[in-house]
Amino acid sequence: MIDDAYLWLESLDEPEAARWVAERNAETLRALADEDFTRTKDAIREVLDSSDRIAYPTWCGDGFYYSFWQDAGHPRGLWRRTTAEQYRRDDPDWDVLLDVDALNEAEGENWTWSDVTVLRPGHDRCLISLSRGGADASVVREFDLVRREFVADGFTLPEAKSDVDWIDADHVFVGTDFGPGSLTSSGYPRVVKRWRRGTPLSAAETVFEGQPDDILVRAYHDVTEGYRRDVVVRHPTFFTSEHHVAEPGGALQRIDVPEDADCQVHREWMLVRVRSPWTVGGVTHPAGSLLVTRFGERDFTVLFRPDERTSLNSWSWTRNHLLLVTMTDVRTEAYALTPGEPEWIREPLPAAGEFAQTWIVETDPDRDDAYLIASEGFLRPATLSLGTVGGPAEVLKRQPAFFDPGGLEVRQFFATSADGTRVPYFVVGGEKPGPALLSGYGGFEIALTPGYDAVIGRGWLARGGAYAVANIRGGGEYGPGWHRAALRENRLRAYEDFAAVAADMVARGITTPEQLGIKGGSNGGLLMGVMLTRYPELFGAVVASVPLLDMRRYTRLLAGRSWIAEYGDPDIASDWEFLREYSPYQNVRPDRSYPPVLFSTSTRDDRVHPGHARKMVALMREQGHDVAYYENVEGGHAGAADNDQAATLRALMLEFLWRRLVR
């Protein structure tokens, strides 16, 4: 039995909990929502609603550029498409397929856009996922792209954390809540079925069943002509998977690769990116390597081999080539690889420049070797280009500057962590010391790369503050080893890294502890909670968004069990021993002095339970600490469902920090 006086705040529906949230929101708005807040919010809203933003498109194989777009006139958004010729224009003629605001008005709902899967090769139908208030759980409804309307008797799924993929016009693979026992303990599909048009969901044929404590199972159909395959993927943990290919007759054959490897099949090729050393064919490949072979064979060619400074960031297929983005000390480079014997031919793609990032926006491997590539930096707005492997790239869009970069520069430093590890971080700002805002994440092998954040630019840099990004362990900046170094019992290394960056910023004269604010969300919110309770003397103010904080109960709340591979299982005594060392909710003390902190979350967050933030705030209030709270009803794990809500949250965060740090 867990002794927790604030368990009642985990309830989403109880009137007492709702009243508590309303009271805390009102307190925060009374304290912060003045004329300065309004100016900051308006400046942020102008950025978020700007028609000059790049509408990053997707390709669905039919020659159109598809885009989902939100602005002041369409707060819930438009799903639309245009031709390649029109997209090149400054003001393309967009064909609106679905107006989510109009749909909400017609149906009396609060839908937010979630996802879409277009039928290939027909391109006349799609499956649209819509969520209420931005939650992960969504409804799925079939949509006719010719008539621009939902199909009355089409494929439809009720609200759940579903996974669905087209097989052909009359069949889909579906994983959803089929009833008791059909979901994993993390709340995701455990069973995947084949569902035929015109039949009830209850009649769908079971294709595969995972185990109750798996993360999820899913299935997809590869429509590539000449290489059509049905693939079932089981995820026993967050970082492991089994890939099974259906043989003629329906039997499933598992692909023989390591369980912790990423595996992808494209036409005749199979890619394997290993997370731990793998010996195959008498050769041992280090973690982070990318290998390729012809599907069904075992003669692997090395496409990428990491070193202590360089890792693989991402990859994308065109029809005949493979595009790679690599990072060296968190600086990206992009390449095109062409199959060859004995080695694949490698050529560079357009570079992003120093302290910037490049990413592949889109390819269409069914059609051709074209690609969309983008780049941006902390002080350089994004550029989107269209290229074809082997040819030049054409600039399609340039985003304008939303703040003046004059007097600002970007620098990269390396801090030394407690165990001697060099930890990179970026600082954006002027030469004079002053208020600074440091952000970080440090989990799930996610890398933080340089990016143009116009909200930070307008709301922080333009006011004279410096902005910093810490590339701590637990992330993916240096590949799987950088992530694995802060897993489970080694989690404290990520927190030591962040503390080392904070101390290094002070030692270099960039700021002082009293003027150093920090922010992070989700796993980064947990990072903030640990910094607050473990290193309070290093910071002047803290903001934690949609955070994990109660590591004693996190596995019992929503999707928490899916992260056991990252953090450990608090119900196992040996795991709780290392979790209890840093779990913020269990480590806040009435006799310690903490910097002021703002927690924010969303009632509709069905990934990280809002109870984490609620309970932490209640406990800190009871102990007499300086703590503020804001809970947005909608938004899901993103925290906001439209641009107005997003502007409110960002303005609250920036105003809170500025007032606490600038005295």
pLDDT exceeds cutoff 90 at 652: yes
Structure letter (DSSP) for residue 550: -
For 46, list phi and psi in degrees, rounded to 5: -60, -40
Q: What is the pLDDT of residues 468-520, one digit of tens each?
A: 999 999 999 999 999 999 999 999 999 999 999 999 999 999 999 999 999 99
pLDDT exceeds cutoff 80 at 1: no
Percent of the chain scoring above 90 in pLDDT: 96
pLDDT exceeds cutoff 60 at 293: yes
pLDDT exceeds cutoff 80 at 2: no
Active site residues: 522, 637
pLDDT of residue 569: 98
Q: Are 554 and 562 in contact (CB under 8 A)?
A: no
User: What are the residues whose beta carbons fall under 8 Å from the beta carbon of 442, sequence distance 6 or more?
Assistant: 470, 472, 473, 474, 475, 486, 494, 497, 498, 523, 524, 527
pLDDT exceeds cutoff 90 at 584: yes
Q: Are 579 and 585 in contact (CB under 8 A)?
A: no
For domain 7-46+407-661, the CATH class is alpha beta
Question: Hey, where are the domains in the chain?
Answer: 7-46+407-661
Q: What is the pLDDT of residues 26-52, one digit of tens each?
A: 999 999 999 999 999 999 999 999 999
Q: What is the pLDDT of residues 164-203, one digit of tens each?
A: 999 999 999 999 999 999 999 999 999 999 999 999 999 9
CA proximity to 77, closest of 85, 66, 64, 93: 66
Q: What is the pLDDT of residues 195-237, one digit of tens each?
A: 999 999 999 999 999 999 999 999 999 999 999 999 999 999 9
User: For 507, how many CA atoms within 13 A lie in the half-sphere containing its CB?
Assistant: 10
498: burial class by Cβ within 10 Å (0-12, 13-18, 19+)? buried
Question: 658 by DSSP, 3-state: which?
Answer: helix
pLDDT, the chain, mean: 97
